[in-house]
Amino acid sequence: MYDEFYVIDRKIKHKKEYISELRARATSMTMSLGERVQTSADDRLSKIMCNIITAENELQEMYEDLGHQKELAKDEIRRLGNKDWEDIVYLHYVELIPMDEIARMRGKSVGSTYMKNNRAIKKLKKLLT
C-alpha cells in the first residue's frame, strides 16, 4: 500500500552510499597528493567535491520529500479512528518496521499484530476508495 516509502528509503540509502564513496575518493586523492600540486588531480578533486555537494543537496530534497509523504500518510492513517490500528499501520508501512518487531515493541503477539494490521488495511482501503 505504501510502497513509495520503501522506494524513497532505498533511494536515500543509495544516495548516502554514493556520498560515502565520493568522500572516500576525495580523501584518498588528498592523501596521495600530499604537497605535490598537479592540475589534473586538482581538477578531478574539484569535480568530486562538486558531485558531493550536488548529492548532498539531492539527499536533503529526498529527506524533505520523505517528511512530506509521511505527513500525508499520517493524515490518511488517522482516518482509521483506532489508535491501535493507526500505530501498527504507520510503524509498518511508513517507518518500515517489520511486523514481529512491532509486536515485540508493543508487548503483543505477532499473530494479533498481523490480524489488527489486516483489519486496519481492509478498512483503510475502503476509506480511501
- Shared-domain flag, residues 52 and 89: no
Side-chain-side CA neighbours of 20 within 13 Å: the count stands at 6
Whole-prediction pTM: 0.76
- Shared-domain flag, residues 59 and 94: no
Say what the pLDDT of residue 36 is.
55
The last residue of a domain, from among 32, 52, 70 = 70
Say what the pLDDT of residue 49 is.
95
- Shared-domain flag, residues 5 and 60: yes
pLDDT along the chain (129 residues), means of 10: 84 97 89 58 88 97 94 95 96 95 97 97 93
Say what the pLDDT of residue 127 is.
93
Say what the pLDDT of residue 42 is.
76
- At position 78, the amino acid (one-letter code) is R
Query: Can you tell me the distance from the alpha carbon of 19 to that of 57, in angstroms, rounded to the nearest whole number?
Result: 11
- Shared-domain flag, residues 101 and 49: no
